[in-house]
């Protein structure tokens, strides 16, 4: 917060990535989406959002009286991340703004002119792999809802934000809540799941993104609906048993991802050869995650598989939801 600025005019939020420990696809729905059962967890690999209100102090320009709030968005140099309306952060801000009556969705709500009054300026710094199967964009959108709920003084609860989040994408409701959850339907119905202890992951990222829609289309061509249940994963989580969890990791999208990107099958093999207790594609890929016995083991495995990925991170799970850091 800059010197002399009144409090409450800037918030920063850390938004965690998501991994899928279990993802079974039950079939294609009439609306084109797929019904699934997934166990998801947030991991301590974060993007950061800074959000400011420009212009006079917030209490003098409380936007509830009008619908003239404009949104601006700047994004760091990360490749492939749009800074305009195409970014889920901008869409989340517009959605919440329209719901609260601050933003007029029929007007040009994306601010072009810096320094204009009634402007909410959002800056996004990426660390989560882009289009990587780790819900990076969804997590940024969830973080935006949480940040603006505080900054705009909307007074909404987590349940309100979670319900709204489904309009932004299938993973966004989970990202509002974070932690460990069982997701069903399109992925938007989330129920908390018990998880004891901490798990240590090696996260192998690729700079070549995969489109979620392409991966699901490929699944339509090559795969059959599965009836696998997540019981073994849920039991391993509640027992804090890394070995059992490693052996139980499931992703029905993995064969489709490997058909699109055969080198990732080798990369998964490299994680297992390096001593991972289990390894699987996260979500629609191309990120591949390996479970380590402990933190030191995660670092050791990460060093050994570095040549198979563009970047390798280590991170613990479960993390929480979006976290206001100031």
**Which residues are annotated as catalytic?**
18, 171
Q: Which residue's CB is nearer to ligand C5P, number 104 or number 163?
A: 163
Nearest to 154 by CA among 78, 246, 58, 279: 58
Checking phi first, is residue 179 left (phi over 0); if not, alpha (psi -120 to 50) or beta? left
Nearest to 296 by CA among 269, 316, 318, 271: 316
Residue of 1, 213, 296, 325 interacting with ligand C5P (CB under 6 A): 213
Q: Which residue's CB is nearer to ligand C5P, number 170 or number 251?
A: 170
Q: Which residue's CB is nearer to ligand C5P, number 33 or number 239?
A: 33
Q: How far is the CB of 297 from ligand C5P (least distance, A)?
A: 33
Distance CA 188, CA 169 (A): 8
What x-and-dash track marks residues 90-119 binding ligand C5P by CB under 6 A?
------------------------------
The tokens for 303 are: 């060093």
The residue whose Cβ lies closest to ligand C5P is 170
The half-sphere exposure of 32 on its side-chain side, counting CA atoms within 13 A, is 4
* Terminal C-alpha separation, the chain: 8
Residue of 133, 179, 187, 283 interacting with ligand C5P (CB under 6 A): 187
Q: Which residue's CB is nearer to ligand C5P, number 93 or number 245?
A: 93
Is there binding between residue 186 and ligand C5P (CB under 6 A)?
yes
> Which parts of 143-172 interact with ligand C5P (CB under 6 A)?
169-171
Distance CA 42, CA 20 (A): 9
> Which parts of 24-43 interact with ligand C5P (CB under 6 A)?
33-34, 36
Burial track 290-321 (b if 16+ CB lie within 10 A, e otherwise): bbbbeeebbebbbebbeebbeebbbbebbbeb
Q: How far is the CB of 133 from ligand C5P (least distance, A)?
A: 11
List residues binding ligand C5P (CB under 6 A): 33-34, 36, 169-171, 186-187, 212-213, 216
């Amino acid at each position: 917060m800059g010197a002399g600025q009144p409090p409450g005019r800037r918030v920063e939020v850390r938004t965690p990535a998501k991994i899928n420990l279990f993802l079974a696809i039950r079939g294609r729905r009439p609306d084109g989406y797929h019904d699934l059962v997934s166990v998801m967890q947030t991991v301590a690999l974060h993007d950061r959002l800074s959000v400011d209100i420009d212009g006079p102090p917030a209490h003098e320009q409380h936007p509830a009286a009008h619908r003239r709030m404009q949104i601006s968005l700047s994004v760091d140099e990360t490749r492939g991340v749009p800074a305009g309306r195409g970014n889920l952060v901008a869409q989340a801000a517009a959605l919440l703004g329209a719901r609260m009556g601050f933003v007029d969705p029929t007007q040009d709500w994306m601010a072009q002119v810096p320094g204009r009054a009634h402007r909410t300026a959002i800056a996004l710094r990426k660390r989560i792999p882009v289009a990587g199967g780790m819900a990076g964009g969804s997590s940024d959108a969830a973080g935006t809802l949480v940040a603006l709920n505080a900054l705009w003084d909307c007074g909404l609860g987590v349940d309100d934000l979670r319900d709204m989040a489904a309009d932004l994408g299938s993973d966004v409701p989970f990202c509002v809540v974070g932690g460990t959850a069982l997701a069903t339907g399109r992925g938007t119905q989330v129920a908390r799941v018990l998880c004891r202890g901490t798990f240590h992951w090696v996260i192998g990222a690729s700079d070549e993104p995969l489109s979620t829609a392409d991966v699901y289309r490929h699944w339509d061509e090559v795969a059959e609906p599965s009836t696998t249940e997540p019981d073994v994963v849920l039991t391993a989580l509640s027992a804090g048993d890394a070995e059992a969890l490693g052996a139980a990791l499931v992703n029905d999208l993995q064969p489709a991802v490997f058909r699109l990107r055969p080198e990732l099958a080798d990369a998964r093999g490299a994680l297992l050869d390096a001593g991972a207790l289990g390894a699987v594609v996260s979500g629609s890929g191309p990120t591949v995650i390996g479970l380590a016995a402990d933190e030191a083991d995660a670092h050791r495995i990460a060093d050994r598989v570095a040549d198979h990925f563009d970047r390798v991170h280590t991170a613990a799970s479960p993390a929480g939801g979006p976290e206001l850091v100031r």
